[in-house]
Amino acid sequence: MILTYAAVFLAIGFGCWLLTVTISQFLTERYTREHFRRYDDVRRFIAPETLLQIQIISASLAAALMMLLLIFAGVHSWYILIPAGAVLCAAGFFAPFLFFVWKSRKRQELIAAKLLDFTMALTNSMKAGMALPQALEAVTKRMSGPIQEEFQQILREYKLGLELTEAFERLGNRVMCEDVKLLVTTVKLTTRTGGSLVEVLEEMVVTIRQRTEFQEKVKTLTAQGRFEALAISFSPIIAFGVLWFIDRDLMEPLLNTGIGWCALGIIAALIAIGFYIINKIVTIEV
């Protein structure tokens, strides 16, 4: 019996590998980078073609592993195996993309967290008599992490002949952060109108500091709500696992019958809806 399952696993794995290679080559040859606009946020971490291949591999493996786990659990009905495999296939396909989107958002959060220190250092450098390009270069050398990478990109573009205001506009398009957009607007307007950039940056530092303090207060006040959303979402899964080990015969109909899988699907949908509603309530845009 074990040899049979092993042969099925190898056959499915080999078939998934062939399907992955074929589909990846077809899509890579047919579509260019211009057709992958939805991957713009993750281009910094991975090429669109490579991400597509990872998504196909992940979807294939997720579907195969789900079907094998159900077979080992005693489920042999194709009316259950195929829909369950399709659901895991879809989840496996979107999981890599969501992971890189999460990495992109984390990177932008790191930039936003360091922007206050950067703006204060830039203001002090300009007070010392430096021009904006020299102050940018001096402050960027002392910074680290993603914010250093972004402002080094601005300096490279400026040295290659691009106007400084246009380089800042590109920064605003790359980093989706309100404080970054505020800095971009400040530099652009004061450079074009001839105002005092140092005074405007000082006011901007005060604004960013007040916004950051308010955001921290909001996170503290809504921490309990976020924890409740996670606790309510994971409690049915934990209860299912506990009951499975206590009385397996009682829980097996949920996996061996079509009605059981319909019940699991309804439960999963209700959990997702509840988590979404609670998360919307506790998420306050500042």
Binning pLDDT at 50, 70 and 90, where does residue 8 land? low
Where are the domains positioned within the chain? Answer: 111-210, 222-286
Is 36's pLDDT higher than 70? no
Is 13's pLDDT higher than 80? no
> DSSP assignment, residue 143?
-
Q: What percentage of the chain has pLDDT greater than the value 70?
A: 83
> What's residue 37's pLDDT?
47
Encode pLDDT of 233-250 as tens digits: 888 888 888 888 888 787
Q: What percentage of the chain has pLDDT greater than the value 90?
A: 0
Encode pLDDT of 176-195 as tens digits: 788 888 888 888 888 777 77
Do the Cβ atoms of 51 and 39 come closer than 8 Å?
Answer: yes
> What's residue 32's pLDDT?
42
Nearest CA to 134 out of 121, 115, 150 is that of 121
Token pair, residue 235, equals 């409690």
Identify which has the larger pLDDT, 80 or 156: 156
Region 192-200: what's the mean pLDDT? 78
Binning pLDDT at 50, 70 and 90, where does residue 31 land? very low
> What's residue 34's pLDDT?
44
Cα distances from 43 to residues 50, 123, 253, in angstroms, run 10, 32, 45
Region 196-202: what's the mean pLDDT? 82
- On average, the pLDDT of the chain sits at 78
Region 96-108: what's the mean pLDDT? 85
What does CATH list as the number for 111-210? 1.20.81.30
Q: How many CB atoms lie within 10 A of CB 139?
A: 23
